[in-house]
Structure formats: structure tokens, C-alpha cells
Amino acid sequence: SIQSDKDALTILAKAVATQASKVLGIAPTTNNKDSGDAQIASEIPLSQYGLDSLTAVEMKNWTEKNIHVDVPVVDFVRGPSSEQLAKTMLQKFYEKYGRPKTIRL
């Protein structure tokens, strides 16, 4: 279970980076014990990896389907990192659904 906002943010940032890797065609790391981890660093703007308006739409659709919040395409195109996007998503999630005490995975 997720016990804190920091835990939620870490997990969400990893999920965003992993999805961005898929959308951008960046191969996951294979020398990592967690195979399939994204090669995208959470603090680097996604635009530096090639995120553009078309891939931003894919990320927006993934966010709506999986995180259940609406993040405008412009928020993706502005050049945030996966960590910054995760903060935005988490804030929108809390605004929409409230802040849970714990989240079971």
C-alpha cells in the first residue's frame, strides 16, 4: 500500500516515465534488476526525449484511461519532466477524488 504522498509521487513518476518510453519508442533498460524500467530520468523534461504534440496526445489519453484525470495536451507540450507531470496528475487526482489514507496496489 502507498502510505504517503511521496510514495504516490514516486510510483506515479515511474509509471509516467515508463509510458513515455513506450510512446517515444525508447527501449527499456535491460541491465536493471527490474526489467522493463524506463530509461527516462524523472527530472529531465520529456521534450528532451522527443515528446511533441502527437505523442503528448497519446500521453493525455493514457492519463485519462489509467490515472482517471484530465491533463490538457498543452501541459505535456510545455516540457515538464515525468516527475513534474506526476505532481500535476496527483494534484488533479486529489482534487477530483479526495486524498485517500492509503492506496492498495
Q: Write out pLDDT tens, residues 35-86.
A: 455 688 989 999 999 999 999 999 999 999 999 999 999 999 999 999 999 9
DSSP secondary structure, 37-84, as one string:
--SS-TTSBGGGGT--HHHHHHHHHHHHHHT-----HHHHHT--BHHH
Choice between 98 and 61, residue whose per-residue pLDDT is larger: 61
Q: Are 81 and 73 within 8 A, CB to CB? A: no
Task: Please report which confidence band the pLDDT of residue 104 belongs to, taking 50, 70 and 90 as the band edges.
Answer: low
CATH code at 5-27+39-97: 1.10.1200.10
**Predicted pLDDT at 4:** 81
Q: What are the domain boundaries of the chain?
A: 5-27+39-97
Q: What are the b/e assignments for 60-74, b being 16+ CB within 10 Å?
A: bebbeeebebebeee
Task: Please report which confidence band the pLDDT of residue 27 belongs to, taking 50, 70 and 90 as the band edges.
Answer: confident
Residue carrying C-alpha cell 492498495 = 104
Question: Is the per-residue pLDDT at 1 higher than 60?
Answer: no
The pTM for the full model equals: 0.82
Cell of 18: 515508463
